[in-house]
Amino acid sequence: MKRIFVFMAVLGLVSGCSSPEPGSGLIFDAFPGPDAGNPNSMIVHDDVLYLQLNDNLFGAEIWAYDGIELERVSDIEPMGGNSVPTRFFVYRDDLYFTALKEPYGRELFKLDGQRDRLIMDIGGNEGSSSPVGFFEYNDVVYFSANDQVSGYELWQMDGDQVIQTSDINPGAGSANPTGFVQLGNEMVFAAERSGMGTELFKYDGISVSLIAELNPGPSGSRPSELSVIGNTVYFVAYTSEYGIELWSYDGSQTSLVADLNEGGDSSSPRSLTVHEGKLFFAANAPDTGIELYSVSPGSAPVVVQDIRNGERGSNPEALFSHGSTLYFAADNGENGLELWDWNATDGARMVADLDEGSMGSDPHAFISYDSEWVYFSARTQQYGVEMWRTNGTTTEMIVDIWEGESGATPNDYAVIKSQICFSAADGIHGREFWCYPHDYGTPVLSRTR
């Protein structure tokens, strides 16, 4: 397999075995020149970072990075073909994923050491099963897949045995089960049946049953963003009577949590995020516009804070729970979409005006580095979209990868040991695999609350 050793010098790529040390900067120009290796789908398992990467020799395959050495560990589609492995997940301490391989199409695989193994050709000779939505419930993995006979239905994997759990939408039509969560001893999810559209279902380990037909008729209520707090599942659903609002299921019945935009108009709750025993979300009400709300089981939703007075609202987005702090982006009408946080003591406050003025920095792609620091991407007019970090008091732009106002647009963050890794472009190379140690150099910009 191909190995790359990374040394302390920025962009230093040397093939060999001489006491390598953690890298800093561009780890590997996988697709030399301005073309891109497009690293993505990063996951850490047993102190190793796995990712999809295209090196222009073997196509898009699985690579592994232990903080020092980057190594290709699969050639699922030989002769330079692209297996495009993705949807990685860990089950019983093994790494699973989906990939393309002739003649099977996209199917479920397992990485066994440095050998990839097809779990089952669910789609058969007719094509890909394209499995998605992997969720572990009672030590069994459930997912949606298409066997080319019954459409996208509920399947399960117990070790290496794969079977169809239920043909929820009988016949060739697809149920498209999605949004799996566990509530007590039940698995709750959304699925479609002919004549009723997409509604809320449950599985008790034996059989699948409909929970409620909230919006009778062929369009369904289309439940989404299922989130569990204690003994309650919260979700967003549509009914002709209330529009798109927040609903709940307590294991016995479904209830409308609140009609925040009364009548058939919708408050369209979004970005449902569980934090400190509450559910936080953005919603649109006539008096406040789109603002940040919270709700606890048994209580009515409340506006966390009317950040932007009037009907326009602050449009909160990118909610991210980190310890006792909820980070998010919001627009107070003066600074644009900037970095805010909330905690039970101080309420909602702007952390920093990263792009000083009214344009906003659009912070997004948050990831926790440790209990103190959170990394994310944000934009400034001077540097474009680059990597930042905050501890709630100090907020810093770490490095200017693509010099000037274009920005490297870092994404797909992952933490491996003391490094933060991601995909980025620097204007010379295409989108490639980068890492920086947490203690790297002097920040380019710093803001203090």
What is the per-residue pLDDT across 67-112, written as a single tens digit (0 to 9) for each?
A: 999 999 999 999 878 999 999 999 999 999 999 999 999 999 999 8
**Beta partners for residue 3, in sequence order:** 71
Q: Is 264 exposed, middle or buried (0-12, 13-18, 19+ CB in 10 A)?
A: exposed
- 3-state SS, residue 88: strand
Q: What are phi and psi of 232, to 5 degrees?
A: -130, 135
What is the arithmetic mean of pLDDT over 366-389? 98
Q: Provide the 8-state DSSP code for 220.
A: B
**Beta partners for residue 386, in sequence order:** 378
| pLDDT above 90: residue 34 | no
Total residue count of the chain as it appears in this document: 449
Please report how many Cα atoms fall inside a 13 Å half-sphere around the Cα of residue 33, on the Cβ side: 2
Tell which residue, 56, 114, 97, 100, has the closest CA to residue 80: 56
* Residues 393/449, Cβ–Cβ less than 8 Å: yes
| pLDDT above 70: residue 4 | no
Percentage of the chain exceeding pLDDT 70: 95
What is the arithmetic mean of pLDDT over 240-269? 96
Q: What are phi and psi of 124, to 5 degrees?
A: 65, -155
d(CA 434, CA 117): 29
| pLDDT above 60: residue 15 | no
Choice among 2-6, 22-26, 418-422 with the minimum mean pLDDT: 2-6
Structure tokens at 80: 């330079």
Per-residue pLDDT at 137 = 98
| pLDDT above 60: residue 11 | no
d(CA 145, CA 177): 9
* Residues 397/386, Cβ–Cβ less than 8 Å: yes
**Residue 191 neighbours by CB distance under 10 Å:** 26
What's the one-letter identity of residue 197?
Answer: G
Percentage of the chain exceeding pLDDT 90: 87
**Residue 262 neighbours by CB distance under 10 Å:** 13
Structure tokens at 280: 């936080």
Give pLDDT tens digits for 291-350.
999 999 989 999 999 999 888 899 999 999 999 999 999 999 999 999 999 999 999 999
Structure tokens at 209: 């049953």
Structure tokens at 202: 């449950």
Question: Who contacts 421 (Cβ-Cβ below 8 Å, separation ≥6)?
Answer: 27, 42, 49, 65, 413, 414, 415, 433, 434, 435
